[in-house]
């Protein structure tokens, strides 16, 4: 690890700003220079956008660049790439894969999506049916994926597919990187309760994936996918936020602006929501401290579980406080958004969109199992399919 303290790291940022003044430097040129200087994600290794420093030192970089008006990499547009694909590539990718994928991913030149869920294997991800068959040094993939965020703007995807149906379902999977511009990839919108389509279904027909684009060994797909899911749940529920950020901030703002609509019952719900949000925020801080010392564990599932419950309770409270005005909704126009924007939209959108929080990133039911088994140490559920070949399972 480089011998850098916060002052030395701050000097590196100053050197970057001096060499590439944000006001006169092309945005992409600045992002390239930042990545090459190791200031993209400081906890990554040198040469891969980092300096091998503790994750806790990243705010030193972010604050200095924000004050200088430096461009960011539009993280909301590429949340799956930054929060899920990048940690997985770092953990399981070859040196060539890391060099090939991480720089354009972080700089936002390539947007990523996740091809995991399927119509017949949602919560039971290991039961997926998408097949990858090796033909020489190329895998031929056929199948269907569903609930794929950002597939309509994605350049690449992380994919789990079945490579050996003769193995039990968890053992016969492998993990790949997919070129979303392959002619066999067909992306179709899924219209949601909000009237929009940020999700998609993706049909894969004879999609060709070089074996060089496989992450991990053949048959290790479940292991690699679990690492991705752990990162996803931390990304959703374990962010660093100030007090009264997000949903609680919008509800508190509504509460303060409409004193005539307050009741003892809504007051109690607001206080309970504020306390729950603050507990979750402090717990997320502890989770990030643990991340700084290692890799995400099952605690991320608990944070994502809390995030979904709190969001749904607070969005419901906001509509109750708004009374008749809560029935308004800005538009049912069909849109293809690039990211979820809870705080920038109206209360009706927040209420409808929050319903998906207990499904995306792992259903709340599955996450309760994860918390029960991996954190509380409770007995696992009885499984009769553990040693049965996937091809012999009823579907």
pLDDT at 3 over 70: no
Tell me the average pLDDT across 318-337.
84
Cα separation, 26 vs 3, whole angstroms: 31
pLDDT at 253 over 80: yes
**Neighbour count for residue 217 (Cβ, 10 Å):** 12
β-bridge pairing 131-135 and 138-145: antiparallel
Catalytic status, residue 232: yes
Q: Which of 118, 196, 198, 232 is catalytic?
A: 232
* Radius of gyration for the alpha carbons in the chain, expressed in angstroms and rounded: 22
Tell me the average pLDDT across 260-274.
90
State the DSSP string of 203-229. Answer: EEEEEEEEGGGEESSTT-HHHHHHHHH
Pick 329 or 184 by higher pLDDT.
184
Rounded-to-10 torsion of CA 236, 176, 130, 203: 80
Tens-digit pLDDT profile for residues 67-91: 999 999 999 999 999 999 999 999 9
The residue to which tokens 């990162």 are assigned: 231
Average pLDDT over all residues of the chain: 89
Classify domain 225-375 at the CATH topology level: Butyryl-CoA Dehydrogenase, subunit A; domain 3 (1.20.140)
Percentage of the chain exceeding pLDDT 70: 93
Cα separation, 246 vs 201, whole angstroms: 29
pLDDT at 114: 96
The band of 234, judged by pLDDT with boundaries at 50, 70 and 90, is low
Tens-digit pLDDT profile for residues 34-63: 999 999 999 999 999 999 998 889 999 999
Q: Is the CB of residue 28 less than 8 Å from the CB of residue 109?
A: yes
What are the sequence ranges of the domains in the chain?
Answer: 10-72, 81-221, 225-375
β-bridge pairing 156-162 and 173-179: antiparallel
Cα separation, 215 vs 315, whole angstroms: 39
What contacts 98, CB < 8 A, 6 or more positions away?
A: 48, 89, 90
pLDDT at 293 over 60: no
pLDDT at 328: 82
The band of 387, judged by pLDDT with boundaries at 50, 70 and 90, is confident
Could you tell me the pTM of the whole model?
0.87
pLDDT at 288: 62
pLDDT at 292: 54
Cα separation, 70 vs 295, whole angstroms: 29
Cα separation, 39 vs 218, whole angstroms: 34
Helical (H) or strand (E) element with 140: strand 138-145
pLDDT at 120: 86
pLDDT at 262: 83
Long-range contacts (CB closer than 8 Å, 24 or more residues apart) made by 294-298? 295/91, 295/227, 295/230, 296/87, 296/230, 296/231, 296/233, 296/234, 296/238, 297/230, 297/374, 298/230, 298/370, 298/371, 298/374, 298/375
Picking from 38-52, 134-148, 295-309, 347-361, which range would have the lowest pLDDT averaged per residue?
295-309
The band of 265, judged by pLDDT with boundaries at 50, 70 and 90, is very high
pLDDT at 237 over 80: no
Tell me the average pLDDT across 223-230.
88
The band of 326, judged by pLDDT with boundaries at 50, 70 and 90, is confident
Q: Helices (H), strands (E): how many in the chain?
A: 12, 8
pLDDT at 195 over 80: yes
Which of these CATH numbers, 2.40.430.10, 2.40.110.10, 2.40.50.100, 3.10.20.740, describes 81-221? 2.40.110.10
The band of 1, judged by pLDDT with boundaries at 50, 70 and 90, is very low
């Amino acid at each position: 690890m480089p011998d850098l303290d916060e002052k030395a790291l701050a000097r590196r940022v100053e050197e970057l700003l001096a060499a590439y003044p944000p006001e006169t430097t092309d945005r992409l040129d600045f992002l390239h220079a930042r990545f090459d200087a190791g200031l993209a994600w400081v906890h990554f290794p040198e040469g891969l956008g980092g300096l091998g420093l503790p994750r806790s030192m990243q705010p030193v970089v972010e604050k200095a660049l924000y004050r200088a008006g430096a461009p960011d990499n539009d993280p909301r547009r590429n949340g799956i790439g930054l929060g899920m694909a990048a940690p997985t590539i770092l953990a399981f990718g070859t040196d060539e894969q890391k060099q090939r994928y991480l720089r354009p991913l972080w700089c936002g030149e390539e947007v990523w999506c996740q091809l995991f869920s399927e119509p017949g294997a949602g919560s039971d991800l290991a039961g997926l049916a998408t097949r990858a068959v090796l033909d020489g040094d190329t895998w031929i993939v056929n199948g269907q994926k569903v609930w794929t965020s950002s597939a309509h703007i994605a350049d690449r995807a992380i994919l789990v597919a079945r490579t050996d149906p003769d193995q039990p379902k968890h053992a016969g999977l492998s993990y790949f990187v997919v070129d979303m511009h392959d002619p066999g990839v067909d992306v179709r919108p899924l219209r949601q309760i909000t009237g929009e389509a940020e999700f998609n279904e993706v049909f894969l027909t004879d999609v060709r994936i070089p074996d060089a684009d496989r992450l991990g060994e053949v048959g290790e797909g479940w292991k690699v996918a679990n690492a991705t899911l752990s990162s996803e749940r931390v990304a959703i529920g374990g962010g660093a936020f100030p007090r009264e950020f997000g949903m609680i901030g919008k509800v508190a703002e509504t509460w303060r602006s409409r004193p005539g609509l307050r009741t003892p019952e809504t007051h109690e719900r607001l206080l309970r929501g504020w306390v729950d949000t603050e507990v979750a925020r402090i717990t997320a801080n502890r989770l990030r401290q643990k991340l700084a010392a290692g890799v995400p564990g099952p605690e991320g599932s608990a944070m994502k579980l809390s995030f979904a419950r709190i969001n749904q309770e607070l969005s419901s409270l906001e509509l109750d406080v708004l009374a008749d005005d809560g029935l308004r909704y800005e538009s049912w126009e069909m849109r293809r958004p690039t990211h979820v924007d809870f705080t920038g939209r109206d209360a009706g959108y927040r209420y409808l969109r929050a319903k998906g929080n207990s499904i995306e990133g792992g259903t709340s039911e599955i996450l309760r199992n994860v918390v029960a088994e991996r954190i509380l140490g409770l007995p696992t559920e009885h499984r009769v399919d553990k040693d049965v070949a996937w091809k012999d399972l009823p579907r």
